[in-house]
Amino acid sequence: MTKAPATPTSGRRRHDREIVALAVPAFGALVAEPLFLMVDSAIVGHLGTRQLAGLGVSAALLSTAVSIFVFLAYATTAAVARRLGAGDLASAIRQGMDGIWLALLLGGLVVAAVLPTAPWIVDVFGASGTAAPYATTYLRISTLGIPAMLVVLAATGVLRGLQDTRTPLYVAIGGFTANAILNAVLVYGVGLGIAGSAWGTVIAQMAMAVAYLVVVVRGARRHRASLRPDAAGIRASARAGVPLLIRTLSLRAVLVIATAVAARLGDVDIAAHQIVLSLWTLTAFALDAIAIAGQAIIGRFLGAGDAKGARETCRRMVEWGLAAGVVLGALIVLARPLFIPLFTSDSSVRDTLLPALLVVAVSQPIAGVVFILDGVLMGAGDGRYLALAMLVTLAVFAPVALLIPTLGGGLTALWWAMDLMMTVRLITLWLRARSGRWLVTGATR
């Protein structure tokens, strides 16, 4: 009996199943990561205001470090997925090991730079005289966990490239649980205070890194892939990561400018802005999970030489992003009476918050497509274009945002500027996707 030919509907269902299988665990892992600092904040908050203020400064610095080095995950995902698609699993794992060695090298450099300069860094970031000692203590201890944290990023990229997002979810859940228990025991049981919170996080991060390394090393031995550092491979990983680093720094600059502008608008506006930004970040996690699936699937198709499959997957994922954006936008509008009271009881903050929130809701379909196309081009290894596109976006956004206080605009105007930023990203990414220039096949780009 001959097999029935594939239909467009069956093809879409196949893509849908694969997207869901990768995106759902990826979302769980993404949400678990920021919970580390939330647990630290909840436990340290009971020690006192000065300790919590110190943690706030250090947590902001550590969060920035994570966002800067996230290229370790993105670049590794694309490179490993390509080699997997080409059928060379040993080379895929070897490429992943190069990313892990790069993570260790960068982590060591960060530790060497931060340990002696921690008091100065804390001072630059504006910690008060009473909070600075606690911030310095937490930062110095937590810095020891940065190599492990970067290994986790790189190893996560390896497993995503191998189409495995479940293991990162399990490791993230285990790390979160260990962090919560260790924090409670070391802070209160042993009486180490804020230092105990930092040590608990470092130990949990190291345990996560070990868990990842066990999985990757087993795979390397199974497929006879070398575990030794390779200078050429590490340099290649670094070169692939530089454009993504530029992209990430440009995006961080957008967020920093937005926060700085909101601060100039007044206390009410900056308070409302932080709430809106928190919600915007939460929706970004949901959309980024689909984008992560796109990175892995697109890289595999291109590695296998299947440009048509990559284009079809891109089209289907854009449909997913658009639909997810519509749903998230509707949820923001419908659920606002429920979650706004959770953040503030100040009527002036609520009045300022509401129209800005509606602007965010309207922009979610745009954000959905932007995140997907971003992930597709990352999976294709098109980092140079992503860097250029984000620099163009920053060049458009910055003057518009900085003029808002001068022209008398408020928080709503600022978030319309954020929508402009997302629209520029949409245009630049859509033009690239339509051009087909990202469809470069083969085990390497």
What span, in angstroms and rounded, lies between the C-alpha atoms of 190 and 193? Answer: 8
The amino acid at 173: I
Tell me, what's the pLDDT at 396?
97
Tell me, what's the pLDDT at 343?
67
Contact 357, 332 (CB under 8 A): yes
What Cα–Cα distance (Å) separates residue 410 from each residue in 13, 168, 279, 332?
A: 45, 41, 19, 21
What Cα–Cα distance (Å) separates residue 13 from each residue in 130, 296, 297, 300, 313?
A: 58, 18, 15, 18, 11
- Residues written for the chain: 445
For 179-192, what is each residue's pLDDT tens digit? 889 988 998 888 88
Predicted model pTM: 0.85
Contact 165, 31 (CB under 8 A): no
Tell me, what's the pLDDT at 344?
66
Query: Each residue's pLDDT tens digit in the chain (445 positions)?
Result: 444 445 556 567 777 788 888 887 887 777 766 666 667 767 776 677 777 777 777 777 777 777 788 888 888 998 899 999 998 888 889 988 999 999 999 999 999 998 898 888 888 766 667 778 888 888 899 889 999 989 998 999 999 999 988 888 889 889 888 988 998 899 888 888 888 888 998 999 999 999 999 999 998 888 888 888 888 888 988 888 899 999 999 998 998 888 888 888 887 787 788 778 878 888 888 888 889 888 999 999 999 999 999 999 999 999 999 999 999 999 988 887 777 776 667 778 778 888 888 999 999 999 999 999 999 999 999 999 999 999 999 999 999 999 998 888 888 999 999 999 999 999 999 999 999 999 999 888 7
First CA to last CA distance, the chain:
41
Tell me, what's the pLDDT at 105?
94
* Short-list 424, 402, 426, 428, CA closest to 413: 402
Tell me, what's the pLDDT at 7?
54
Instruction: Say whether 381 sits in a helix, a strand or coil.
Output: coil
Torsion on CA atoms 164, 169, 174, 175, rounded to nearest 10: 100
* Short-list 234, 176, 210, 200, CA closest to 35: 176
Neighbour tally for 31: CB within 10 Å: 16
* Short-list 110, 108, 375, 378, CA closest to 243: 378
Contact 36, 175 (CB under 8 A): yes
* Short-list 80, 97, 78, 99, CA closest to 88: 80
Tell me, what's the pLDDT at 259?
82
